[in-house]
Structure 1
Amino acid sequence: MLSRRQMITGAVGVAAGSVAAGCTSGAGAHPSAKWGDPGSSLAPGGTPSTSPVTVAFTPAADATNVSPADKVVISATGGTIKSCTVTAGGNTVAGSLDTDQRTWRSTGDLAYGQTYTVTASVADPSGATSDKTCTFSTVKPGSTTSVAFQANSMQSLKTGGTYGIGQVVIVHFSRPVTDKAAAQKAVVVDASPSVDGKFFWLDKQTLHYRPEKYWAAGTKISVKVNLLGVNLGGGVWGSGNASTNYNIGDSRIAVVDTRTHRMLVYINGQQVHDFPISAGKGGTTKGSNGETIDFFTRSGPHVVLEKAQTVEMTSASYGITNPKDPNYYKEDISLCLRITYSGEYTHAAGWNIPDHGQRNVSHGCVNMNPDHAQWLFSTFTLGDVVDVKNTPVQLPVWDGIGDWNVAWSQYGG
């Protein structure tokens, strides 16, 4: 009979022999005794058996109509991921592996209308590796739309540029949008200092955004359009994401009163000038095609759309083409700030200075003494406000940036 001391000594000998022998039988041990690796079990007969590594794929294997905005995620249970590739058409989607090597996530975007092959190389606790593979396909849209950021329909917005307090956010879609709610949800506008705003669809392709009142001087605005993978209706999907940012400069407002024939200019709330002007003379005539043409300057807040040292202006642009018509003209005009698409400007008018401050004689523009026009031209920039008062015709929302003429309760409706 073995003593207690002999039994303990024999057990330690089995353990020591198994470690030294690298999982083979050792001296004093039963011939079938073996070590199992951590995470493994012993199969019948004492042979180590490692549980298979389970791999989960997102999107699931054989998934179809996957949005290209979705992320690819591969997770391993019972082992680790050594490498992973997601490929289609010779292109590889970028991704990264978590520090615990159990989850891989894509960082690059998918593309439309592609079949992707996902291959994950995984290792079990013993170090044995194997490849796990699946495929999925992304949605194939009928067409896609991109976006462009605009200062207005004639000018692109300059990223990082500085604009006036009337510069609304303008996102122009390259194709008509059916699901406007989906499009709006994709557009994120952040302002610092923060202020609430509303979206307004000018037409089926042009989305505006503004706060209730003019932007505060010094505001910083960023716009992100997360359009990739967004179904905009009518078979149109967003082609990709886009972003921009711009700054609001000093508050500059010129108030044109057509009754007093004066322009009062305010910078950051302080009046800095009082200029005599002559606005649209009013009245109507018939154009070459029988259309009715009026000569009123439109009332309401206008926004500076562009600046030009010289512009060729002609009445033919709005229907008066006969040189014998007393309202016909074709002239090069200087120091021009455009404030409507239809052709209203503030500009130098040295030919009718006696009328400035006395009466309205123009065809619709705001006429100024050349020295005064030079100051305004040098000081004002895109997005600054020219607010016209006391005429019988209101500026429509579509004629330039007429957003500030729409009551807040109706804006976005």
Structure 2
Amino acid sequence: MPTTELILGQTLCFTGDPFQDGPDAASHNRHGAVAVRDGKIIDVGDADTLRNGHPQAKVTDQGDALLMAGFVDSHVHYPQTGIIASWGKRLIDWLNSYTFPEETRFKDVDYATEIAEVYCDLALTNGTTTAASYCTIHPESVDAYFTAAQARGMRMLGGKTCMDRNAPDGLRDTARSAYDDSKALIDRWHGVDRLSYIITPRFAPTSSGEQLSALGALWSERPDCLMQTHLSEQHEEIAWVKDLFPHARDYLDVYEQHGLVGEGAVMGHAIHLTPREIDRMSDTGVRVGHCPTSNTFIGSGLCDVTGLHQRGIPVGLATDTGGGSSFSMLRTMASAYEVGQLRGTPLHPAQLLYLATVGSSKALGLQDKIGNLATGMEADLIALDLSSTPAIAQRSKRADDIWEAVFPTIMMGDDRAISGVWVNGRDMRGG
């Protein structure tokens, strides 16, 4: 019989949506525990109760650390790991100056493997146990990414980025090869272990209508896959799309005309939306990956997270590495708070933690598997040290409740706050 591990600490789980129900949607236990066996959470509750219920369990005591679901990053570019924090460009210049030259290197299998390994390790160091990544046009970049994730037992999503125009030589495919390569990669990887393939046109400016239609056709054939792309990140980009697709009503309509709007569509950014686009997203089940560090770093704008939630549009949090300036979901939550402040809708700590866990799992259609501490969920969890630095410790010790205790870590924390990581029940710090 598999060994049961009992992990002790404070616990935080969600029984509702804090955007609708307020902080009471979160359940906090000051002396809690999580019981894990065979990769699954089998019990969550009071520490003494679980000790009595599992007397033979191996006990791991995390002290005052906060046990919660591992972070879920809903939009990332793992091939941009090496160019994160590059200076001073807006979106189109960023792609031409940094992204495209770097992505060209991924035709080298060894280089793709190296970066995939580095990215997965950095994600885990920062408490991210699941990510949805764009790869490059090279199928080998997908193989490298999924191989690295598989070796660590991670639940990861990704796809070959498809571009057949407005990209350099060596980074363009065709409508036919985009379809064929993506289909072959789906057959090779989708549903293997904890891996999921995502059909991935980069964005409308780098795909012809023919390519978008080919990928829309593939998605209709494989609706069990998600589809990810970018939407309304910067004003210059939106104007470019209008020039390239003059007969579309708006940016979202470009995708809709080619079969790329519906349940399972995950749109990165979604900042400058028209009322019609919001209506259609709400009606069709489109989800959003909110990328606040990227949106401020590249000067894109301020996403209306609260407004999207009010329309019933699922929103997950995302680092958007490397346009995003940090691998840390804590830093990303801090940025989401600041964006909310600038919009006049500051997010409560419960909402921030929800976006980074349950919210992202819903955006990726994985809410029945990851993103929360609950019986039957896969055992991807982290321990947060709420006193990881002297600055954080001196502030958190004044806290009157869990939200005052955790907020300094959200605003000032980094990888030092991640004191434990479990992936599918495996302790990634202890072996």
Using the size of structure 1 for normalisation, the TM-score is 0.22
Q: Which protein has the bigger helix share?
A: 2
Q: Which protein has the bigger strand share?
A: 1
**Bigger RCO of structures 1 and 2 (CA < 8 A, at least 6 apart):** 2
Using the size of structure 2 for normalisation, the TM-score is 0.22
